[in-house]
Amino acid sequence: MYYFLYLCGHKIFEAMTYLILTIILVLFGVGLLLAEMFLLPGFGVAGIFGLASLIAAVVIAYVKLVALWAWAGHVTLAAWCFAA
């Protein structure tokens, strides 16, 4: 019983870590895209890093979070589409 709870707790902790990382990447990507649009127009580096951050968030959500929450990748992709 203890071993089962240990494994479940470990999987939930790992999933929450990836969920937090995904949320941080989405917020960082949206922030960089907003900075590119309003603060640094025409420079390009912030926009490229913002898009890379959003793509990484979608990949992490589909690869790592789909085992526990099947909708996590779809929600992240919708947030990415809304940000772009």
CA distance 40 to 63: 33
3-44 pLDDT, tens digit per residue, is: 555 556 566 677 778 888 888 998 999 899 889 888 888 778
CA distance 84 to 26: 11
Q: What is the pTM of this model?
A: 0.74
Chain length of the chain: 84
